[in-house]
Amino acid sequence: LMVDKGNYRHFMAKEIYEQPETISHTLSHYVDMGAEKVAIREVLPFDFADLSRLTISACGTAYLAGAVAKYWFERYARLPVDIDVASEFRYREPPLEKGGLSLFISQSGETADTLAALRYCASQGQHVACLVNTLESTIARESAVVFPILCGPEIGVASTKALTAQLTALASLAVAAGRARGVLSAEQETELVRALVSLPTAVAEALGTEGQIMDIAKRLSKAKDVLYLGRGPMFPIAMEGALKLKEISYIHAEGYAAGELKHGPIALVDEDMPVIVVAPSDELVDKTLSNMQEVAARGGKIILITDAEGAATAGHGVSDIILIPHVSSFVAPILATIPVQLLAYHTAVFMGTDVDQPRNLAKSVTVE
Ligand code: G6P
């Protein structure tokens, strides 16, 4: 495979910076730009309107894409979603209704646990669909429907552009499901499609936070533990922030649902603990910001990722605000991914780790 880093120091940096183009590429497959409608080009052996449940299974970052998608399918298509990491799912052997839809998300299409979960679902009479970057993979071969993410080869072990491509495709599928199920009107579909189409420009703008993030990352690189908080679809993004930081900087990090803060992690908060709050303005931002104030009151160092509206209501006690453009709350989780990627990347660069090939990790885990 001939892919080079161009002018970038690491593949991960190159892949982070490619995202305005890769998201556009994914969108050109899933959206009819002229009509401002979603366009599902794959032949579906099922009808979204007939489904009573969507089952999603995946590993690592791909699992977190599914965790965001759960909010989208439930909110915009009123389709209940059951999601689990593949290594748990396959042995849990959950009861599945015949004719239901199971979706497997995998960049490589070769992850052993995800493949085993797929085979279990196929044996239970489920429609099996996958969302992959590698069309000639085992998971793609064994799926009745293959949704591509089209982000080009991803070399950095820690997934970046594959996640935003997975999210873009999943958001489009949720809108298609919402239309098929009569939950979304044609006007609502157009509004959501416009939000998707606005993403590449917003992502390019969010990449402009890099200078500020380098400064924050220098301080973050001295931390022993870092807590990431988010609510709703920002909760999986908080988990992704923590996962990325662990993977490449080896700093211990945890992603937590902001509302669960009081039920445990608040005991960890002191002056030495950076707390990264992922809270662009949406229906839940006030709740998240009030959790953030509980951290501030205990001396925690807060780094807030938000937009101008969120920043205006943030209150005191915030050390840093990473400002991202305001977008519709529908696509905000995709945009909020950018600063958490940059934070992990620059922290790892400061620490001098092997960013593209972190210790003990593999790009594709083909053994159990
Ligand atoms: C490994 C990689 C992760 C990836 C996960 C799932 O752990 O290091 O970046 O998210 O596998 O991989 P997949 O190819 O199934 O998306």
pLDDT tens digits, 135-178? 999 999 999 999 999 999 999 989 999 999 999 999 999 999 99
Q: How far is CA 258 from the centre of its chain?
A: 17
In the predicted model, is pLDDT for residue 40 greater than 90?
yes
Query: Is residue 168 in contact with ligand 1, taking CB distance under 6 Å?
Result: no
As annotated, the active-site residues are: 363
What mean pLDDT value characterizes the chain? 96
The number of the ligand 1 atom at minimal distance from the alpha carbon of 111 is: 15
Query: Is residue 249 in contact with ligand 1, taking CB distance under 6 Å?
Result: no
Determine whether 271 is exposed, middle or buried from the number of CB atoms within 10 Å of its CB (0-12, 13-18, 19+): exposed
User: Each residue of 345-364: pLDDT tens digit?
Assistant: 999 999 999 899 898 898 98
37-38 vs 31-32, strand pairing mode: antiparallel
What was the pLDDT predicted at 4? 86
Q: What is d(CA 39, CA 221) in angstroms, rounded to the nearest whole number? A: 44
Residue 27 host element (H or E): helix 19-30
In the predicted model, is pLDDT for residue 1 greater than 60?
no
CA distances, 211 to each of 208, 218, 342 (Å)? 7, 11, 10
What was the pLDDT predicted at 316? 85
What was the pLDDT predicted at 145? 98
Residue linked to tokens 């301080």: 219
Residue linked to tokens 């937009």: 307
Q: What is the mean pLDDT of residues 43-51?
A: 97
What was the pLDDT predicted at 120? 97
Residue 113 banded pLDDT, cuts 50, 70, 90: very high
**Residues above pLDDT 90, as percent of the chain:** 88
Question: In sequence order, what are the residues at sequence separation of 6 or more whose Cβ sits closer than 8 angstroms to the Cβ of residue 25?
Answer: 150, 151, 152, 165
Task: Tell me the best of 363, 367, 368 to mutate to test the pocket of ligand 1, counting ligand atoms within 8 Å of each CB and taking the most.
Answer: 363
Q: Which residue, by CA, sits nearest to atom 7 of ligand 1?
A: 60
User: Each residue of 230-245: pLDDT tens digit?
Assistant: 999 999 999 999 999 9
Q: Which two tokens stand for residue 336?
A: 């909020």
Query: Is residue 319 in contact with ligand 1, taking CB distance under 6 Å?
Result: no
Q: What is d(CA 197, CA 142) in angstroms, rounded to the nearest whole number? A: 32
Residue 336 banded pLDDT, cuts 50, 70, 90: very high
Q: What is d(CA 21, CA 261) in angstroms, rounded to the nearest whole number? A: 37
- Residue 198: DSSP 8-state: T
Q: What is the mean pLDDT of residues 94-102?
A: 94
In the predicted model, is pLDDT for residue 65 greater than 70?
yes
Query: Is residue 26 in contact with ligand 1, taking CB distance under 6 Å?
Result: no
Residue 366 banded pLDDT, cuts 50, 70, 90: confident
In the predicted model, is pLDDT for residue 322 greater than 90?
yes
What predicted TM-score, i.e. pTM, was given to this entire model? 0.97
In the predicted model, is pLDDT for residue 60 greater than 80?
yes
**Residues above pLDDT 70, as percent of the chain:** 99
Q: What is d(CA 257, CA 221) in angstroms, rounded to the nearest whole number? A: 23
Query: Is residue 156 in contact with ligand 1, taking CB distance under 6 Å?
Result: no
Is 227 strand, coil or helix? strand
Beta-carbon count within 10 A of 160 CB: 30
User: Each residue of 217-226: pLDDT tens digit?
Assistant: 999 999 999 9
- What is the CB-side half-sphere exposure of residue 150 using CA atoms within 13 A? 17
Q: What is the mean pLDDT of residues 115-131?
A: 97
CB 189 within 8 A of CB 173: no
225-230 vs 37-38, strand pairing mode: unpaired
Max intra-chain CA distance, the chain: 55
